[in-house]
A and B are shown apart, each in its own frame.
Chain A
């Protein structure tokens, strides 16, 4: 099929638009975080917050992840590259044996999985992990 100049230009513009899109997704995810923290500062790098996720996920429909944060009241998990970033928010009650939880999640494609923990003293800690996904899990 012969590409006219007009077609090639349109194709080029489309490709450029695609690269810009991921930035919009990140903005939505940051909103999620600020809603959870109420605008408070989030400490990067996780003293006391552990996020366990595989480096390569065979199946984007079921990726095992685990979070642990000694002394946290709640942990929120986000998938930064999913159509909707929210994954789960774990609220620990008084009888929680340890502030940890494991589950399986869907990841649309290779992306960062982020955990934000609300500690008992009111501070927030954040940790992220990149997970490569071979087959996407959001119906795409």
Chain B
């Protein structure tokens, strides 16, 4: 498991039924691209988050396939429709097999 990986999500706590809300997600992860070299000249191996998904009550909102070109501490901003009260699930999949998850509940205003 990559060390010190922390996900942070900004999502509204309340929304009107059917409203489109903006979600902002950030996860602290080095995203080692596999292009950098050590002091001794050897290549630092690639170690990145390769996939990010967001689902609401089990239905997919967005599914992002990520490459090494995404910056360190990957940031995504996107929009989702809130048809009913429920929970947003955010999942990040790491190259090394770890999975980072967080969830945010949304109530209907």
A89 lies within 8 A of chain B by Cβ: yes
Point out the residues of chain A lying under 8 angstroms from B60, CB to CB: 91, 93-95
Tell me what chain A mostly uses at the interface: helix, strand, loop, or mixed: strand
Count B-side interface residues using an 8 Å CB cutoff.
32
Cβ–Cβ contact A88 & B20, under 8 A: no
Cβ–Cβ contact A95 & B33, under 8 A: no
Cα distance, A87 to B97, chains bound together (Å): 20
Name B56-76 residues within 8 Å CB distance of A.
56, 59-72, 74-76
Given contacts A92-B62, A95-B59, A95-B61, contact A103 B67 (CB under 8 A): no
A98 lies within 8 A of chain B by Cβ: yes
Given contacts A97-B81, A98-B20, A103-B76, contact A91 B35 (CB under 8 A): no
Point out the residues of chain B lying under 8 angstroms from A96, CB to CB: 61-62, 78-81
Contact of B65 among A88, A98, A101 (CB under 8 A): A88
Shortest CB distance B40–A (Å):
15
Given contacts A88-B65, A93-B63, A97-B79, contact A104 B71 (CB under 8 A): yes
| Interface size class, chain A | 20 to 34
Name A98-140 residues within 8 Å CB distance of B.
98, 100-107, 137-140
B21 lies within 8 A of chain A by Cβ: yes
Q: Which of B70, B72, B75 has the most CB of A within 10 A?
A: B70
Point out the residues of chain B lying under 8 angstroms from A138, CB to CB: 33, 35, 69
Cβ–Cβ contact A86 & B78, under 8 A: no
Contact of A61 among B22, B72, B74 (CB under 8 A): B72
Give 4 nearest A-B pairs by CB, closest first. A93-B60, A97-B79, A97-B20, A139-B36
List 13 interface pairs A-B (beta carbons < 8 Å), by A numbering.
A62-B71, A82-B69, A88-B64, A88-B66, A90-B62, A91-B64, A93-B60, A94-B59, A94-B60, A95-B81, A97-B20, A103-B77, A106-B68
